């Protein structure tokens, strides 16, 4: 399949088509929050984001910045050719559970060591995920975990027809 035509970024925006492959990890200056079940379950100023061609950024929050009991082990695993083997977590908040809605890399591949004690969360099942003052939109599709904000433009992997990108 042909690469799609990237949207032109405006002032202060980034194109996901300018992100690298293999991906890179970079610190996030903004506050990142996650709300679920009517509760604030994570709040940090120490997140990092992973940037990969055609994907909105995936935000990783330190495990220590989740409230006690917000994450429990979940069955399932996956493998990323760049980051290594992932494990999954159920996310808990306000008596609600989102099964397998978070993941991390307990023994990441070289270059991704900063992810070892950080967790990424699918925005879709959450009440609200924010970066700075902006509420994020989940990356299209059910497989990828990127967070779409107004400062990233696509098109984004995950939309119908994007499997071959």
The tens digit of pLDDT for each residue in 106-137 reads 999 999 999 999 999 999 999 999 999 999 99
Sketch the domain layout of the chain as residue ranges. 14-153
Domain at 14-153: CATH architecture: Beta Complex (2.170)
User: Would you say residue 164 has pLDDT above 90?
Assistant: no
| 104 contacts: CB under 8 Å, gap ≥ 6 | 60, 63, 86, 87, 89, 115, 116, 117, 118, 119, 120
Q: Average pLDDT, stretch 62-75?
A: 97
Q: According to the model, what pLDDT value does residue 142 have?
A: 78
In the predicted structure, residue 15 carries a pLDDT above the cut 70: yes
pLDDT number for residue 76: 87
- Mean pLDDT score of the chain: 95
Q: How confident is the model at residue 1 (pLDDT cuts 50, 70, 90)?
A: low
Torsion sign (Cα): 17, 132, 113, 108: negative
Does the pLDDT of residue 31 top 80, yes or no? Answer: yes
């Amino acid at each position: 399949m042909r690469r799609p035509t990237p949207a032109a970024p405006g002032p202060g925006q980034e194109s996901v088509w300018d992100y690298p492959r293999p991906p890179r990890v970079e610190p996030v200056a903004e506050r990142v929050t996650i709300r679920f079940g009517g509760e604030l379950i994570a709040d940090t100023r120490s997140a990092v984001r992973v940037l990969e061609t055609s994907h909105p950024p995936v935000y990783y929050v330190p495990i220590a910045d989740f409230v006690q009991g917000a994450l429990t082990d979940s069955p399932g695993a996956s493998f990323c050719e760049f980051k290594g083997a992932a494990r999954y977590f159920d996310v808990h908040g306000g008596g609600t559970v989102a099964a397998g809605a978070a993941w991390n890399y307990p023994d990441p591949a070289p270059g991704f060591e900063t992810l070892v004690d950080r967790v990424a969360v699918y925005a879709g099942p959450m009440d609200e995920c924010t970066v700075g003052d902006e509420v994020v939109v989940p990356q299209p599709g059910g497989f990828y975990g990127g967070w779409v904000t107004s400062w990233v433009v696509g098109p984004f992997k995950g939309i119908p027809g994007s499997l071959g990108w």
